[in-house]
Amino acid sequence: MREMTADPYLGKYITCVSARSTDKEILKKAQDGGIATALMVYALEEGIIDGTIVAGEGDRPWEPRPIVAMSREDILKARGTKYSISPQIAWLKEATRSFGLDKVGVTGVCCQMQAVRKAQLYPINMRDVPGKVALTVGLFCMENFPYKSLQTIVEDHAAQSLGSVKKMEITKGKFWVHTERGNVSTVPLKATHKYEQPGCHVCLDYVSSLADISTGSVGSPDGWSTVFIRTKKGNEVWSKAVAAGMFETKPIEDVKPGLELLTKLAKEKIDKNRKTLEERRNFGVNKALRDPYA
């Protein structure tokens, strides 16, 4: 096994590659390289997990709803980024109860990976959870939006009907909205800042540092993902999946823009949010706001 890298902005990892799934059906609706979907499908088929929490379809268009998926079909339903809050961890304990799972998979963003690890080390009314988390796949995440924010951005700023949207994307300084009929609208990110979820402004993780495997868009070309293999479990699953032909991979060093851009964005996020945390210490007059990391 390769020596562990410990990067102050990218977290601890064994290796980092650019990758995409070889499963054409998965790629059809995947946000990027189909890594999260392909990994969970592979883990399910190999018996590494017997179910996984994914962001399924909610009641309103583009509103995610966490579900416990126990089939390839249900996992595939969760493809594509929904830029709104999906309380994934709400099902973590239930997955080990009425669902009767022994090996639970969890997908989610950085803070949700943190929640899983906290539940594993400090299980507070989380009986059985520590030993039954089998695989976590974390997404990179810069910030998230409440549903009403997403509605405002798409319907007002981008002037699109949510029901017509095929894909949303935040990249190259813009919020992109692609419609089913082929239209593309963009919103400058600057206009979206005020709609961000405030709780995201104290987040010190960009690349899901606590996941077994983390994956995201930045650093790799369109249709590909940047993937960090972090834990022993992650390494075992990834190695087997690659050997089984589940993924095309390239060393991240051979890919543009690669780790340089990723590190830059991670640093921007963490530095900005550290500053926010700092400011919270003197938010009032001789009064501070609470610091969860203190």
What's the rounded Cα separation, in Å, for the pair 172 and 192? 14
Report the nearest approach of other proteins to the CB of residue 180 (Å).
25
**What amino acid occupies position 235?**
N
**What amino acid occupies position 12?**
K
What's the rounded Cα separation, in Å, for the pair 253 and 233? 24
**Residue from 47, 87, 100, 257 in contact with other proteins (CB under 8 A):** 87
**Residue from 8, 173, 182, 198 in contact with other proteins (CB under 8 A):** 198
93 makes contact with other proteins (CB under 8 A):
yes
Q: Which residues in 15-120 belong to E strands, given as ranges?
A: 15-21, 51-57, 64-69, 104-109
Report the nearest approach of other proteins to the CB of residue 84 (Å).
7
**Residue from 1, 2, 3, 122 in contact with other proteins (CB under 8 A):** 122
Radius of gyration of the chain (CA): 19
**Residue from 15, 21, 37, 209 in contact with other proteins (CB under 8 A):** 209
CB 165 within 8 Å of CB 62: yes
123 makes contact with other proteins (CB under 8 A):
yes
Q: Which is nearer to other proteins, 238 or 247 (CB)?
A: 238
197 makes contact with other proteins (CB under 8 A):
yes
Least Cα distance to 65 among 86, 40, 95 occurs for 86
88 makes contact with other proteins (CB under 8 A):
yes
Q: Which is nearer to other proteins, 148 or 264 (CB)?
A: 148
Report the nearest approach of other proteins to the CB of residue 224 (Å).
27
Q: Which stretch binds other proteins (CB under 8 A): 69-77, 219-227, 255-263, 284-292?
A: 284-292
User: Got the DSSP string for 193-224?
Assistant: GGGS-GGGGG---SS-TTSSEEEESTTS-TT-
Residue with tokens 């009314």: 125
144 makes contact with other proteins (CB under 8 A):
yes
106 makes contact with other proteins (CB under 8 A):
no
Q: Which is nearer to other proteins, 62 or 247 (CB)?
A: 62
117 makes contact with other proteins (CB under 8 A):
yes
166 membership: H or E segment, kind and range: strand 165-171
Residue with tokens 């868009």: 217
Instruction: Give the 3-state secondary structure of residue 175.
Output: strand
Binding residues for other proteins (CB under 8 A): 4, 6, 12, 66, 84-94, 108, 111-112, 114-115, 117-131, 144, 146-148, 197-204, 209-210, 231-232, 289-290, 292-293
